[in-house]
């Protein structure tokens, strides 16, 4: 049984099914992507001289842009090619133009839903970032901030929008590679390991078996088929031959596979041919009969075979005279008689992949005048049968976030080290609280680290928008990749989630929030300068706590309608201005952030206590914390003693002595007082009792040794625990 590949005609004006499909796709708005029709107007934004567009590929959709008959390049929208979710959970849609050689000619942002860019960061910065990709080749590696490395093009990131620009970079390059592969500019398997021919696989086979399993393919053309292909472009060049008469019956095959080569050539001729091939070279055979020659009469020594060539992955493989051998004999039983039998050698520079599909292309010319002619190309597909191949495991593309984590190894190391230190502070807080000066030094150093490194350097300021984004991601389809693309934020949020479960919101608000740390350091400096502090009555202060929860509920309600709108209204947070953008914004935003910092001079962390929706959002899950390690066990705490309540800088201690964990910032000041035997009344009484007992013990009463022994035992130190402390005080 003979199998024949259906002929494929590529005429100048012929429109195939794939192109028709592409046309339909590009004329319609793709549902759910926001991709508009790829028309001439869009094409002119990339190529000003364009006068027409034609469908280029159906999958992924793109159009070829022409000026007259000159191909300028390919234009496409990335949301239809590589819809990578960005920080908002939706892709950024860009218009990208690709030159015929694979160079990016234009990149322009058409639409996005990125909340970080809707306010605060000028839109032009994102446009400039996209435009920085112009001139890069699709196979070139483009990295944020990289430069000077071989084969790497560096583009500057946008401060405060790291995740967004990472996605935009990956979107442009991934989409461009897909379109380039679809239009034959590059090999779509360029990054994959090549299949190799198995030299140990051989089976006896005759002509019928070789053609039956696809080892040998057939391209059969009749005069009727050829005349039909020329009917539109050269109607006067009809052959006049009967339509059913054979024009050419062409068979073609790949010879390196032993089952094909040995059965077709014989052992000695196959061994000779393989010895002629250099590494990464291949051989194909063409056998034909009919009125048309695949070699042609115009072939001369030193020339090129202009009628027969191969196409693989968009690359055209042509043959010179030195790539040609006549096939003198064929040994396969049952083979028909052929007028032409030839072997063509594929050289190493063609980068041929025996495991990938390829096409044999036959060029047919017809004269339309004394000096003019038209041509039509006919093609047949070929795929080497799988039993002849050894395919290595495909290489999965590395997720984008893996490279990001690798590039930020230093920042990750410093952040993790800081979090380990903070965990140690939490675990050994009692020991630190007994050492007031050490704790004060440690706290001020860590707050400085939080402002300078976490905030201004790493730009890892958490925001209430992060909470909304997470909620939307869970509702609309959660993807770890979106969150892993910013390792600093991911690690910090992971730690905050754990600390909420263990100790409550205070660990973040008191130690890890850069804006909160900045307020506290400013207030500390003000106190050293003896600036008078201002506090509201506790009853008013307690009512004002509710403001931040109301702000949170309003913003959350807005986010359910539009995350972008919620980001705009979330500017009630000064984080973006003071930390992320380092005050490089319009004067109104700077004035607002500066006013809040100015208030912190006379009122510690005013914004955190009354306005911050992020703190409110963290306080809600923090109600399920596992531990209450802040000690308030003594009977005098709250009644009558109010020292800790009066000294709490954020006033999170109620008059009755209870610590409100929802408002506590875990500064540990109350714990310092709790263990201070010069400030805490129960501890003062205990200290004085010990001192008195010690004095008596040093002067034993004359003639009363039993009294001496009694005071001596009383003067022994007792371990300080809440239980023993309460007992001794009484």
What pLDDT digit, counting tens, does each position of 313-363 carry? 767 898 988 899 988 778 888 899 899 999 999 999 888 999 889 999 998
Instruction: Band the pLDDT of 19: cuts 50, 70, 90.
Output: very low
Instruction: Band the pLDDT of 121: cuts 50, 70, 90.
Output: low
Q: Which residue has the higher pLDDT, 237 or 181?
A: 181
Q: How far apart are the first and last CA of the chain?
A: 107
Mean per-residue pLDDT over the chain, rounded: 82
Q: Is the pLDDT of residue 147 over 60?
A: no
pLDDT value of position 592? 95
* C-beta of residue 459 within 8 angstroms of C-beta of residue 160: yes
Q: How far apart are CA 378 and CA 374, in angstroms?
A: 14
**Residue of 645, 652, 680 lying closest to 666 (CA atoms):** 652
What DSSP letter does each residue of 538-580 carry, written as one string? HHHHHHHHHHHHHHHHHHHHHHHH-HHHHHHHGGGS-HIIIII
For range 404-415, the mean pLDDT:
89
**Residue of 114, 206, 208 lying closest to 168 (CA atoms):** 114
Q: How far apart are CA 113 and CA 476, in angstroms?
A: 15
Give pLDDT tens digits for 483-514: 787 889 899 999 999 999 999 888 999 999 99
Give pLDDT tens digits for 384-401: 999 999 988 766 667 778
Give pLDDT tens digits for 256-265: 999 999 999 9
Q: pTM for the full model?
A: 0.64
Q: Find out whether the peptide bond into 640 is cis, omega within 30 degrees of 0.
A: yes
For range 628-634, the mean pLDDT:
76
CA 72 from centroid of its chain's CA atoms: 31
pLDDT value of position 189? 56
pLDDT value of position 119? 52
pLDDT value of position 44? 84
Structure tokens at 246: 């054979």
**Residue of 291, 271, 295 lying closest to 283 (CA atoms):** 271
Q: Specify the 3-state DSSP secondary structure of 300.
A: coil
List the beta strands (DSSP E) in 368-416. 373-382, 389-390
Q: Is the pLDDT of residue 564 over 60?
A: yes
For a pLDDT cut of 70, what percent of the chain falls above it? 82
């Amino acid at each position: 049984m003979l199998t024949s590949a259906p002929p494929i005609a590529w005429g100048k004006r012929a429109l195939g099914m794939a192109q028709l499909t592409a046309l339909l796709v590009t004329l319609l708005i793709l549902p759910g992507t926001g991709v508009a029709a790829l028309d001439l107007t869009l094409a002119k934004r990339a190529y000003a001289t364009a006068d027409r567009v034609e469908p280029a590929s159906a999958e992924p959709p793109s159009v070829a842009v022409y000026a007259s008959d000159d191909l300028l390049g390919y234009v496409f929208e990335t949301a239809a090619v590589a819809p990578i979710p960005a920080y908002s959970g939706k892709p950024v849609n860009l218009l990208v133009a690709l030159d015929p050689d694979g160079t990016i000619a234009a990149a322009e942002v058409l639409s996005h839903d990125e909340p970080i860019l809707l306010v605060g960061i000028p839109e032009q910065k994102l446009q400039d970032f996209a435009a920085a990709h112009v001139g890069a080749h699709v196979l070139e590696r483009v990295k944020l901030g990289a430069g000077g490395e071989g084969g790497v093009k560096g583009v500057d990131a946008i401060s405060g929008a790291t995740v967004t620009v990472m996605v935009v970079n990956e979107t442009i390059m991934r989409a461009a590679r897909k379109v380039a592969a679809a239009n034959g500019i590059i090999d779509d398997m360029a990054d994959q390991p090549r299949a190799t021919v198995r030299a140990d696989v051989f089976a006896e086979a005759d002509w019928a078996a070789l053609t039956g399993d696809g080892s040998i393919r057939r391209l059969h053309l009749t005069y009727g088929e050829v005349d039909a292909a020329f009917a539109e472009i050269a109607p006067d060049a009809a052959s006049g031959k009967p339509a059913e008469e054979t024009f050419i019956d062409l068979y073609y095959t790949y010879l390196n596979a032993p089952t094909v080569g040995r059965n077709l050539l014989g052992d000695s001729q196959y061994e000779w041919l393989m010895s002629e091939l250099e590494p990464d070279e291949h051989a194909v055979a063409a056998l034909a009969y009919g009125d048309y020659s695949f070699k042609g009469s115009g072939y001369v020594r030193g020339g090129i075979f202009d009628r027969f060539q191969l196409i693989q992955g968009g690359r055209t493989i042509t043959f010179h005279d030195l790539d040609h051998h006549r096939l003198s004999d064929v040994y396969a039983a049952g083979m028909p008689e052929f007028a032409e039998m030839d072997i063509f050698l594929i050289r190493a520079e063609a980068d041929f992949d025996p495991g990938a599909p390829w096409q044999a292309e036959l060029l047919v010319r017809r004269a339309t005048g004394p000096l003019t002619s038209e041509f039509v190309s006919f093609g047949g597909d070929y795929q080497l049968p799988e039993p002849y191949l050894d395919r290595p495991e495909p290489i999965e593309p590395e997720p984008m976030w893996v490279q990001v984590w690798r590039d930020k190894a230093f920042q990750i190391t410093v952040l993790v080290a800081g979090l380990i230190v903070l965990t140690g502070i939490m675990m050994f807080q009692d020991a630190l609280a007994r050492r007031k000066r050490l704790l004060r030094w440690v706290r001020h150093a860590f707050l400085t680290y939080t402002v300078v490194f976490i905030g201004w350097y790493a730009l890892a300021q958490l925001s209430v928008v992060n909470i909304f984004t997470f909620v939307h991601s869970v509702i609309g389809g959660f993807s770890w990749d979106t969150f892993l693309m910013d390792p600093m934020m991911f690690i910090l949020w992971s730690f905050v989630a754990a600390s909420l479960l263990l100790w409550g919101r205070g660990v973040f608000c008191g130690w890890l929030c850069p804006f909160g740390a900045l307020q506290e350091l400013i207030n500390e400096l003000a106190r050293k300068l003896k600036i008078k502090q201002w506090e509201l009555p506790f009853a008013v202060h307690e009512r004002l706590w509710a403001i931040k929860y109301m702000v949170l509920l309003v913003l959350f309600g807005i986010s359910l309608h539009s995350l972008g709108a919620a980001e705009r209204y979330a500017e009630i947070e000064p984080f973006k201005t003071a930390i992320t953008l380092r005050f490089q914004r319009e004067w109104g935003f700077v004035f607002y952030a500066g006013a809040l910092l100015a208030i912190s001079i006379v009122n510690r962390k005013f914004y955190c206590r009354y306005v911050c929706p992020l703190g409110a959002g963290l306080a809600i899950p923090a109600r399920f914390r596992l531990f209450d390690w802040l000690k308030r066990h003594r009977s005098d705490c709250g009644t009558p003693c109010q020292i800790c309540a009066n000294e709490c800088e954020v006033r999170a201690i109620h008059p009755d002595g209870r610590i409100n964990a929802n408002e506590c910032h875990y500064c540990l000041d109350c714990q310092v007082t709790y263990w201070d035997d010069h400030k805490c009344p129960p501890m003062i009484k205990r200290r004085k009792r010990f001192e008195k007992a010690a004095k008596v013990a040093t002067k034993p009463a004359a003639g009363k040794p039993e009294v001496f022994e009694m005071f001596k035992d009383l003067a022994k130190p007792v371990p300080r625990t809440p239980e023993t402390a309460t007992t001794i005080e009484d």
